[in-house]
Structure formats: structure tokens, C-alpha cells
Amino acid sequence: MDVFSFIERTLSARGIKDYYMDTYALTLHPAKKSHYSLGSQHLYYLISEYLPEGTLILSETSAFQVGPNFSTSGIAKVKEFTGQLAVHLPTTGAVSQLEFIRIIPRI
């Protein structure tokens, strides 16, 4: 199953049929370990290929810490987050951005 099929099935299971989908990159400052996005009620699906072990991503609905097998996890590494994102890196400059598929439900 590819990422888009996974996301479409997840949204369909929740009854979300009308939405806008795009990509979203959260740029991370190279001199900081903690980063925050603006708050929103969008859904974000993590699609970054590489993240250093120990990276912690928090949102209003989810928490995820990157383990040692993240880069080889396939579709299992696609994680869902809603609202404001908080990212805590194990070291400064460990990664320059996080990549997401962003879903904006149309009401």
C-alpha cells in the first residue's frame, strides 16, 4: 500500500470525504533542538524518509519518538498528527526539515 492510499483509507474511515491535500515542510532552525509550528486543525501525515533516533514529535492528538528502525519501517513510519506540532531533536542541526502530507478538511 502506498502513502496516498493509506491516507485516503484513514480519512474515509473517519467520514472525511471532502478535503484539500498538499505537502508541508516544517523547516527547522539549525541552532535549535526544539521547534514549534503554528496551531491549526489540519491533519499532518509524517512522510520524512530519515529522522535521527530520539527525535520526538508531539501534537494535540499524538506523540511519536523515532526508534532505531525508523528508516526501514515502510508504511509504518507514516504517523498522523493534528494541530500544532512540537519537534524535539536529539542534537541541534540533526535534520533541516520534516516533511508531511497535509490534509485540510473542507467543512
C-alpha cell at 1: 500500500
Provide the b/e sequence for 1-32 (b: ≥16 CB within 10 Å).
Answer: eeeeebbeeebeeeeeeebeeeebebebeeee
Q: In the predicted model, is pLDDT for residue 58 greater than 70? A: yes
Task: Return the DSSP state at 85.
Answer: -
The SS3 call for residue 102 is strand
CA–chain centroid gap for 33, Å, is 17
Percent of the chain with pLDDT over 70: 93
Tens digits of per-residue pLDDT, 60-95?
989 999 988 877 666 667 889 998 999 999 999 889
